[in-house]
Amino acid sequence: MGNTCVGPKLGAVWRGRGTEELPCVNFNGDKEAEQESSHGSAKATTATAAPAPEEPKAPLPVQSTPPEPVKITGEEHEPQPVESANPAKPDPKVEETKPEDPSKPRKPQHIKRVASAGLQVDSVLQRKTENLKEKYSLGRKLGQGQFGTTFYCLEKGSGKEYACKTIAKRKLTTDEDVEDVRREIQIMHHMAGHPNVISIKGAYEDAVAVHVVMELCAGGELFDRIIQRGHYTEKKAAELARVIVGVVEACHSLGVMHRDLKPENFLFVNQGEEASLKTIDFGLSVFFKPGACLACASRLGRKLVIAPCSFKTLVKTLSNLKVINVKGITTNGGKTE
C-alpha cells in the first residue's frame, strides 16, 4: 500500500514513482540527509558541520601613567541654562504680585464685623405674628428706602390690594435701629384714622424681616407729580400746603413729630387730579410731650428740604415745600449743609 519506511536505519522504498526524491525521518529523533535514488533506494549519511572557532580578542590597554593635573583659574564660569524643547508654562492659578499704588488708601487688615442687632433679638415686634405669605401675595417692587423696600401686596382671601414695606433685620445694626422700627409701627397705629395719613393694615415678622402691610397709594409721589406738571398754580399749591400743614398739626396734637417732611413722603391715592394726599414714612418720627425741649443729636432729613439756616424752624421747612410746589425747584440746592 503506497510508500512506506521500514526499520530505524532503512531508507524509503519508492514503488512505481520513478526517480522522485522524498525525505524520510526515523522515529528515534535523528535527522537524516536527503536520499538520492535512481532505480531503487540509496542511503545517505548525514553530515553536520562543526562550528568555526572564534578568534581571541585583544586585551584592553592598561593606563600606567597618572592623569595630568588640572589647573583651576580664579574665574568661575557660570553654567548656561539649557533650553528645553517644551518650555514650562506659567501656572494660571498663581497670581503675579503687583506693586501697591501709593495713591490709593490701604484697606484695613483686620475688619471687625458688627453683628446685626435685628438678628440677635428674639423678636423685633416683641410678639408672635402670623405668617405673611399665608395671607398675602407679594408682587412687583414699588419703592426703595434706607432700611426697607415696598412691594405690591394682594390679600388672598378678599383680593384687596395693599402695599407691603419689608424691612430686613440685617440692616438693623444697632439697638436704636430696632427701636426705630418698633416706634414707627406704634406711631402709625397711633395716627390711624386721619384722612391724610396712610393707614396700617398689620405688621408681621419672620426670621429675616419685618413686614408692614399698609394702604396702597397708586397715584405716585408728590415730587413726581410736580416734575410731571412742571409747576403748580399758586391756588393749587396753597391747597396742597394746607393739607401738609393740617397733617403736621394733627401729629403735634397727638404728641408726634414727623421730622422728615419732603415731597417724596406724600403720595396720591390715585392718578386723578383731585386725588387725596397721604403722608407716609414715620421712620424718623418720635413722641414728645408738650413743653419738653427736644435736643436732636444729629440733623435729620434731606438737605434739599431742611430749613437752610438753622435746620430747626418748621415754618421755613414748610416754606421750602411751598416753593417746590409752585416753581418745582429747591431753595438751597442741597450742595452744602
Active site residues: 260
CA 9 to CA 25: how far, in whole Å? Answer: 10
Tally of CA atoms within 13 A in the half-sphere of 32 that contains its CB: 19
Residues with Cβ within 8 Å of residue 184, at least 6 apart in sequence: 212, 282, 283, 285
CA 325 to CA 299: how far, in whole Å? Answer: 24
The single residue listed with the C-alpha cell 414727623 is: 258
Hey, what's the cell of 197?
Answer: 395719613
Which contacts of 168-171 are long-range, i.e. CB under 8 A and separated by 24 or more positions? 168/118, 168/208, 168/209, 169/116, 169/118, 169/119, 169/124, 169/208, 169/209, 169/210, 170/116, 170/118, 170/119, 170/208, 171/116, 171/118, 171/147
The Cα-based distances of 120 to 114, 115, 129, 131, 177 in angstroms read: 11, 8, 18, 20, 13
Hey, what's the cell of 111?
Answer: 475688619
Which contacts of 319-322 are long-range, i.e. CB under 8 A and separated by 24 or more positions? 321/241, 321/244, 321/261, 321/262, 321/263, 322/237, 322/238, 322/241
Measured in degrees and rounded to the nearest 5, phi and psi for residue 82 equal -95, 125
Q: Is 169 annotated as a binding residue?
A: yes
* Binding-site annotation, residues: 169
* Binding-site annotation, residues for ATP: 169
